[in-house]
């Protein structure tokens, strides 16, 4: 504080292991100020806090460095200026130091939405629903549905200006579409757009998957022409008779979401594979070019992640002699039964494989 840039204050070598080294300045009398300027030598402080005190006994933090990466700005939790979380609910969002409290206050339902970019970079796209407990929005074309209640809910959501179709049933309106939903307690869904459609008001569309949609023309006396475009595909025109339902199938597209509970799941063994065995993960990777080679009398297990009601287990093999195979199910991974249906979390495949036999390209579990 001597005005000489050639001198400095430094923590003594013996005190550099401390986390609370401090320098205090006595201004001589109470003063009002709005900033403090620090001029550092090359060896600058990497982290510090500035405090003030009226008496030298009680201290109040007024600034910290580095600046906290999180701050609340009008209901939005800003994350270093690069993204933000917007919380909707009866209580505010608060940030105190490094502590973040979402919807601080009495227990109440809340909806948290994450948006990339700085404040104001992206609107929420909120849409209205017929159920107070269900919050819905359309962001970047994706439909988000969240049931904030502890009971199952059914209703509809009005999607103004939309011609995009999502999984389930939608009806074209004068202003957009009306989507029907059914949500389990506390369920949230994110649905990608599967199709876009051009047609008359009252047209009903039921999206089964990314390759199939069923169209029903509104009542009338004349046929109507409807144009359907799958996401990432080519448009197709369909002539519908009044009140008639026509399935439109795009055979060249994969029917997402794939009805295979084993797809991408954890498999065993995962390491230290027995001699002659390849990774069993190749049987659930959705790649027909890869296959699991069991090895002599090999066995693999797929973990479905939770107990699931299994309706069928399907096996696909490469060319060649298919070895004898036994499919089992288990609820706990300890007790197994020979079965291809029923409740299960673990599905093992046991083989009597010999060198030269076919390999398993796909293990599918249907519900």
- Asked if pLDDT for residue 313 goes beyond 90, the answer is yes
Stretch 250-262: mean pLDDT, rounded? 88
**Terminal Cα-to-Cα distance of the chain (whole angstroms):** 75
- Asked if pLDDT for residue 341 goes beyond 80, the answer is yes
DSSP state of 191: E
Stretch 56-75: mean pLDDT, rounded? 77
* pLDDT given for residue 362 in this prediction: 95
pLDDT band at 359 (very low <50, low <70, confident <90, very high): very high
pLDDT band at 336 (very low <50, low <70, confident <90, very high): very high
Q: What count of residues does the chain have?
A: 367
pLDDT in tens, 17-46: 776 788 899 999 999 988 888 888 877 777
Could you give phi then psi for residue 85, rounded to 5 degrees? -110, 120
- Asked if pLDDT for residue 120 goes beyond 70, the answer is no
106, with CB counted inside 10 A (0-12, 13-18, 19+), is exposed
- Asked if pLDDT for residue 365 goes beyond 80, the answer is yes
CA-based R_g, the chain, Å:
31
pLDDT in tens, 203-212: 999 999 999 9
Stretch 42-58: mean pLDDT, rounded? 85
Spatial contact of 308 and 345, defined as CB atoms under 8 Å apart: yes
Q: DSSP assignment of 89-118, as one string?
A: SSS--EEETTEEETT-SSS---EEEEEESS
* pLDDT given for residue 347 in this prediction: 96
pLDDT in tens, 139-186: 888 999 999 889 999 999 999 988 999 999 999 999 999 999 999 998
pTM for the predicted model, two decimal places: 0.61
Could you give phi then psi for residue 14, rounded to 5 degrees? -70, -20
Spatial contact of 84 and 115, defined as CB atoms under 8 Å apart: yes
Inter-CA distances, 85 with 103, 113, 191, Å: 12, 5, 20
- Asked if pLDDT for residue 119 goes beyond 70, the answer is no
Q: How far, in Å, CA of 354 to CA of 76, rounded? A: 61
Q: How far, in Å, CA of 291 to CA of 277, rounded? A: 11
* pLDDT given for residue 104 in this prediction: 76
Spatial contact of 103 and 85, defined as CB atoms under 8 Å apart: no
Stretch 272-300: mean pLDDT, rounded? 94
pLDDT band at 121 (very low <50, low <70, confident <90, very high): low
Q: DSSP assignment of 55-88, as one string?
A: SSSS-EEEEEESPPSEEEETTEEEETTTEEEEEE
Percent with pLDDT over 90 in the chain: 58
Q: What's the token pair of residue 199?
A: 């047609």
- Asked if pLDDT for residue 238 goes beyond 60, the answer is yes
Percent with pLDDT over 70 in the chain: 94
Spatial contact of 79 and 114, defined as CB atoms under 8 Å apart: no
């Amino acid at each position: 504080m001597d005005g000489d840039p050639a001198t400095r204050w430094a923590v003594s070598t013996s005190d550099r292991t401390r986390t609370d080294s401090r320098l205090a300045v006595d201004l001589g009398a109470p003063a009002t100020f709005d900033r403090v300027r620090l001029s550092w030598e090359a060896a600058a402080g990497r982290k510090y806090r500035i405090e003030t005190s009226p008496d030298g006994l009680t201290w109040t933090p007024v600034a910290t460095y580095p600046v906290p990466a999180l701050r609340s700005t009008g209901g939005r939790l800003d994350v270093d200026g690069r993204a933000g979380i917007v919380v909707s609910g009866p209580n505010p969002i608060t940030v105190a130091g490094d502590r973040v409290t979402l919807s601080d206050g009495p227990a109440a339902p809340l909806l948290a939405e994450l948006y990339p970019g700085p404040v104001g970079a992206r609107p929420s796209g909120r849409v209205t629903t017929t159920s107070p407990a269900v919050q819905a929005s359309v962001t970047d074309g994706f439909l988000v549905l969240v049931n904030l209640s502890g009971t199952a809910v059914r209703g509809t959501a009005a999607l103004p200006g939309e011609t995009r179709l999502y999984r389930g049933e939608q009806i074209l309106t004068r202003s957009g579409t009306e989507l029907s939903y059914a949500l389990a307690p506390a369920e949230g869904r994110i649905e990608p757009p599967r199709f876009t459609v051009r047609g008359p008001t009252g047209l009903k569309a039921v999206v089964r998957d990314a390759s199939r949609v069923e169209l029903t023309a509104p009542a009338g006396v004349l046929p109507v022409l409807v144009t359907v475009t799958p996401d990432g595909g080519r448009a197709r025109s369909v002539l519908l008779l009044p009140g008639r339902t026509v399935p439109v199938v795009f055979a060249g597209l994969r029917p997402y979401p794939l009805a295979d509970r084993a797809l991408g799941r954890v498999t065993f063994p995962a390491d230290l594979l027995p001699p002659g065995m390849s990774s069993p993960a190749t049987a659930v990777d959705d790649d027909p070019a890869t296959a699991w080679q069991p090895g002599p009398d090999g066995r693999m297990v797929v973990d479905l992640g939770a107990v699931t009601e299994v309706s069928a287990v399907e096996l696909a093999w490469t060319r060649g002699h298919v070895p004898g195979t036994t499919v089992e199910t288990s609820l706990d991974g300890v007790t197994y039964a020979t079965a291809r249906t029923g409740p299960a979390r673990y599905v093992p495949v046991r083989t009597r494989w010999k060198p030269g036999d076919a390999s398993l390209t796909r293990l599918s579990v249907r519900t």
